[in-house]
Structure 1
């Protein structure tokens, strides 16, 4: 196991017992600790039980409570990274999941190696400060203050409740303030994957980030560069 592997506690919430058995065997062979719950209610109960999970793999279609309801209730109190498992080709599920605060999605059926790559990318950015050397300086641009060491952000003193993905996108935009950052760069540096045609993940994450900023500030902070990407405004743009 590589020296940067710090995060190994996973919760899998999926009603397909054959799939969860297979995932457990595979992920445990890769060094992860895996807990499984086979319906939404039991999954949510475990997710908020106080047991620490570095990431949750969450299916959409489940009995008792679907994945969207689980995610909505989870996000009311927890920022645990969530990878949604969606039906292939179901763009509605993917977009809705991202809107509700999922960090990424993976359509079924999926390659196990791709799953592990997604898990590593998400947990790596979620614990960016702990994985680093702890000396990264705070950022302050146009009233936006971001602290990598404490993983917190605020606008004009008003705190922002951000997912790990939103935090990482904001950090990237702040590091390149007043400069355009392409969607391709955001996808590679934040999501850890090349940007795919018709993939709206970046747009949805930035939209969520904007909504949270706009809720506490009347000033525009993030500008869309049509067809290219985004720019964090400095106040003098």
Structure 2
């Protein structure tokens, strides 16, 4: 499912979260930051989107999901050669940061995620895209 912000920054975000209320909260934050949001409910769906040729600027992944966990999805996505996409692990689990970083994620944000934490990450991606266009 894709959600579009009123004013798009052209930042394409993939939100991978199995809990509906968490998907709602995180997608609301991303939309408020003018991102185009695609939703997936587990790591397998995220990997399948890449196999279909979809491209994203940032992926936010929960750790513990059915079928395929966030860190498992990170390993598979990185193995496909997706080195440019910013992957951010998101979890309330105390040991999640280590699991995500060992899998190849770029950053980790503990739940509950706050907009103030996500703003600099999105801004970094916007700046990187602007510099790539110059």
Shorter chain as normaliser: what TM range? 0.7 to 0.9
Structure number with bigger Rg: 1
1:81 equivalenced with 2:86 (yes/no):
yes
Count of residues in Structure 1 that have an aligned counterpart in Structure 2: 125
RMSD over aligned Cα atoms: 2.2
Match of 2:108 among 85, 105, 116: 105
* Residue pairs, 1:1-237, within 5 angstroms: 7-77=10-80, 78-79=82-83, 80-87=85-92, 90=94, 92-121=95-124, 123-124=125-126, 127=129, 129-130=131-132, 133=134
Higher relative contact order, structure no. (Cα contacts within 8 Å, ≥ 6 residues apart):
2
- Equivalent-residue separation in structure 2 for 1:104 and 1:18 (angstroms): 22
- Per-residue deviation, residues 120-173 of structure 1 (Å, max 9, x unmatched): 23x257547416x4xxxxxxxxxxxxxxxxxxxxxxxxxxxxxxxxxxxxxxxx
Q: TM-score, normalised by structure 1?
A: 0.48
Give the CA deviation at 1:10.
0.3
Q: TM-score, normalised by structure 2?
A: 0.80
Unmatched 5+ residue regions in structure 2?
A: 1-7
- Equivalent-residue separation in structure 1 for 2:128 and 2:78 (angstroms): 15
- Per-residue deviation, residues 174-221 of structure 1 (Å, max 9, x unmatched): xxxxxxxxxxxxxxxxxxxxxxxxxxxxxxxxxxxxxxxxxxxxxxxx
- Equivalent-residue separation in structure 2 for 1:126 and 1:81 (angstroms): 11
